[in-house]
Chain A
Amino acid sequence: MTEAQRPIKTVVIVGGGNAGWLTAGRIAAKHKTKQGGVKVILVESPSITPIGVGEGTWPTMRSTLIALGISETDFIRHCDATFKQGAKFARWVDGSRDDFYYHPLVLPQGFGKADMAAYWHQQRQQQPHGSFSNSLCYQEAICEQGLAPKTIRTAEFSAVANYAYHLDSGKFGQFLQQHCIENLGVTHILDDVIAIHSVANGHSATHGDIAAVETKNHGAIAGDLFVDCTGFSSLLLGKHYQVPFKACDDVLFIDTALAVQVPYDSPDAPIASHTISTAQEAGWIWDIGLQHRRGVGYVYASKYCTEEQARATLANYVGPAIDGLTVRKIPIVSGHRTRFWQNNCVAVGLSAGFLEPLEASALVLVELSAQMISEQLPAHRGLMDIVAKRFNQTFLYRWDKIIDFLKLHYLLSQRDEPFWRDNRDPATIPQSLQELLQLWRYRAPGDLDFTSNNEVFPAASYQYVLYGMGFQTDFSHADYLLDNQDFAAQQFAQNQKMIQQALGMLPTNRELITKIRDYGLSAV
């Protein structure tokens, strides 16, 4: 058997944390590790605690949990998880007190059948107060009332309104670990990796394949594919393979986070069923409601604000409750590796890159990476370079699109602090985004603006942000978009009807979480 024909039988994942366990779980579930399929070994240092980024997820997390064979009830009970139905952006447009808009998870009513943005624009001439998200999506009303996206009678993972989760990152890691070991047959080795053994006669000009990782107490652990989940240290891809890091701090200025965990006043305090993002002088504050506490944090650009100022801003937001709480300072280095898969090594999670948490992109990128690796795991080494090339193309595109989409939030703001003014400097806006913005001056974002069949942010997301932030599209040259008034009127009416139905049937987020803890959701 030649080297190229060597089958991929053992996957070694270096690093625990959510990235490591999600990748281990996806591969083990797909490739029947427990039944004797591909062997999955996860090596985790006993001395490194995971950073635990990301308390916000996307609806993809539901399919991820299903693929891992996890019960939604168990997940909610063990991970302090709650329902998330999108994000509310407060004070992003002009900074005034009542300034807010939603980026919900349900598509606009009629999306894909007609260009509803044009009809909304037309309707707005008569009803200036009907926001885009509230006129065309019933989810904003649900969130404003603090309601859950489903009822106790809805089956696990099914929805009345599309949803994702907020979760306790540390508890989620523990939960995944137990599931992967007990139910999916992942081998867990607690040990430090002290060296990397390369094959001399490799495929790359600079380095050969990784043959094994040397551990302190368990010797060399050999494998056919190595997954780098070592966090910011990027032990395999960054340190070993020297794959360059591409910073994007010229586009996204935020470089520091101050995070704090705020307990609720009472055990039955309401839980917001959306992420609240409130713009500040030099960044924004996230506010995420879990079952037992809120996670709050100020992400800011240190060039525009001192740490002392930032701490005062955070304290002002949290209020007197912040006294005695521990505020963690976390540096944010925005950017990503220029390749993610090199030879027989692929990086997932922080080792691949990181962006500020504005659209909760950290965990979703882990999920998408783990999914692609597990579904496209090459049959033998000879095919791996092709898979690697395609993986790199796919994810470079995704990182670019996420960077564009994050930037979109900033450049549309009319706030006039230096941080916000500088964000509007064309020199800081990627060319790809500038071009799209020119097109959108005369028509709404559409699916054909994007080229991936599995786009991270669909055109609907761009519409929510653009029109939520007051972007003006000039539809005066596009009367042809307004040729089906009856259909449009039905959509607006249907949305109002859905709002009434939803408000009548949905419990509060807190009520549903309590019921799930008490009774559980059924699988059907």
Chain B
Amino acid sequence: MAELIAINPKLHATLRIQPDKAELHGRGIQLLPVVPAEFASVATQSPIVLTKNGQTGQFVSVAMLGFAPGENLWFADERWQGAYLPLQLQRQPFFLGQSGDNGQGDYVLCLDPDSPAIMQQHSATTNTEQLFQADGSDSAYLQHIKGVLAELLQGEQQQQQLVQALLAANLIQPLSLEITFANQQSTRLNGLYTIDQQKLAALDPATLVQLHQAGWLAPIYTMIASAAQLYPLIARKNQQLSLAV
């Protein structure tokens, strides 16, 4: 877990970031949190499902990238293989911390000091970005990062509202999947949840209108449609297994 180091122009005047390496943070991540605003993009690549946060038990929407903890089938050859890089990876190596003893204060832009995207002294890479201009103002890169983080912050609130709406309408059901791969090994997926399509189809008109007006119908149907990405994901796994033989 990264410690909280607040960014400031004095301390980080010479710091250089390699944005291409932000995606290295996706290595070994099976379930990557995604927010409703990017569902449509994510759904072109991955199934979007719900899982429960291990600390709080609260539902979070995630892109399913593998079939077992630590497995990310979209990460190979030290690269993210998809056309769309989810916001959670785009924002690396930065995050928003909250100041104050109880973590309830203002948001502070922080840096993961252990990130592989931080350029080391001896690195000869040219594709780097600085955080600040000579006059101490934000670089275009930093402005971009702040934009991503703001989008994520708002997205996480929307994500929680979506979950509340799904719970209120009783639309979440456990996803029970037993998948057999080409090598006849099978795996059972536990702890994942999805939209209950039967209950969705049977919703009363008033609830349906509420979901529509709140803007939740699009993410709901995107989640449903994204389930089809399970097949390409299985194909990726089978391909990996065939290479391993």
Chain A 212-224 interface 0/1 with B at a Cβ cutoff of 8 Å (1 = within): 0000000000000
> How far does the alpha carbon of A521 sit from the alpha carbon of B52 in the complex, in Å?
10
Instruction: Pick the contact of B55: A152, A520, A522, A524 (CB < 8 A).
Output: A152
List residues of chain B with CB within 8 A of the CB of A522. 52, 57-59, 167, 172
Q: Are A152 and B57 in contact (CB under 8 A)?
A: yes
Task: Please report whether the interface of chain A is mostly helix, strand, loop or mixed according to DSSP.
Answer: loop
A154: nearest chain-B partner, CB-CB: B57
A524 in contact with B193 (CB, 8 Å): yes
B-facing residues in A499-524 (Cβ within 8 Å): 515, 518-524
A520 partner residues in chain B, CB cutoff 8 A: 57
Q: Are A521 and B193 in contact (CB under 8 A)?
A: no
B166 — nearest CB in chain A belongs to which residue? A524
Per-residue CB contact flags for chain B residues 56-77 toward chain A (1 = under 8 Å, else 0) read: 1111000000000000000000
Q: Which of B58, B170, B191 contacts A519 (CB 8 A)?
A: B58
Of all chain B residues, the one with the shortest Cβ separation from A153 is B52
Give A520 to B53 CA distance when docked, in angstroms: 12
B194 to chain A, nearest CB (A): 11
The total of interchain contacts (Cβ-Cβ below 8 angstroms) comes to 35
| A519 in contact with B56 given A153-B191, A524-B193 (CB within 8 Å) | yes
A463 contacts the other chain (CB 8 A): no
Contacts of A523 in B (CB 8 A): 167, 170
B57/A521 in contact, CB under 8 A: yes
CB interface residues, A 331-365, toward B, < 8 Å: none
Closest chain B residue, CB of each to CB of A519:
B56
Contact (Cβ within 8 A) B174 A524: yes
Closest CB in chain A relative to B54 CB, distance in Å: 6
What is the bound-complex CA distance between A445 and B58, given in angstroms?
44
**B14 interfacial contact with A, CB 8 Å:** no
Complex contacts, A154 vs chain B, CB 8 Å: 57
B193 touches A519 (CB 8 A): no
In the complex formed, the residue of A with least CB distance to B59 is A522
- Cβ of B59 and Cβ of A152 under 8 Å apart? no
- The answer to whether A151 and B193 touch across the interface, beta carbons within 8 angstroms, is no
Q: B53 to chain A: closest CB distance in Å?
A: 8
- Could you tell me the distance in whole angstroms from the C-beta of B220 to the nearest C-beta in chain A? 16
Min distance, Cβ B78 to any Cβ of chain A, angstroms: 32
> Which chain B residue shows the least CB distance to A524?
B172
Of all chain A residues, the one with the shortest Cβ separation from B196 is A524
B81 interface contact, C-beta 8 A:
no
Any chain A CB within 8 A of the CB of B239? Answer: no
Q: Which residue of A lies closest to B56 (CB)?
A: A519
Confirm or deny: B173 has a beta carbon within 8 angstroms of a beta carbon on chain A.
yes
Bound together, the chains give a CA A151 to CA B52 distance in angstroms of 11
Q: Which residue of A lies closest to B171 (CB)?
A: A524
Give the nearest-CB partner of A158 in chain B: B174
B55 CB to closest chain A CB (Å) equals 7
Given known contacts A523-B167, A524-B193, is B56 in contact with A152 (CB within 8 Å)? Answer: yes
In the complex, A515 Cα to B57 Cα: how many Å? Answer: 9
Interface of B toward A, CB cutoff 8 Å:
52-59, 167, 170, 172-174, 191, 193
With A151-B54, A523-B167 given, can you name 16 additional A-B contacts, CB distance below 8 Å?
A151-B57, A152-B54, A153-B53, A153-B54, A154-B57, A515-B55, A519-B56, A519-B58, A522-B57, A522-B58, A522-B59, A522-B167, A522-B172, A524-B172, A524-B173, A524-B193
**CB pairs A–B below 8 angstroms (26 shown):** A151-B54, A151-B57, A152-B56, A153-B52, A153-B53, A153-B54, A153-B57, A153-B191, A154-B57, A515-B55, A515-B57, A518-B56, A519-B56, A519-B57, A519-B58, A520-B57, A522-B57, A522-B59, A522-B167, A522-B172, A523-B167, A523-B170, A524-B167, A524-B172, A524-B173, A524-B174
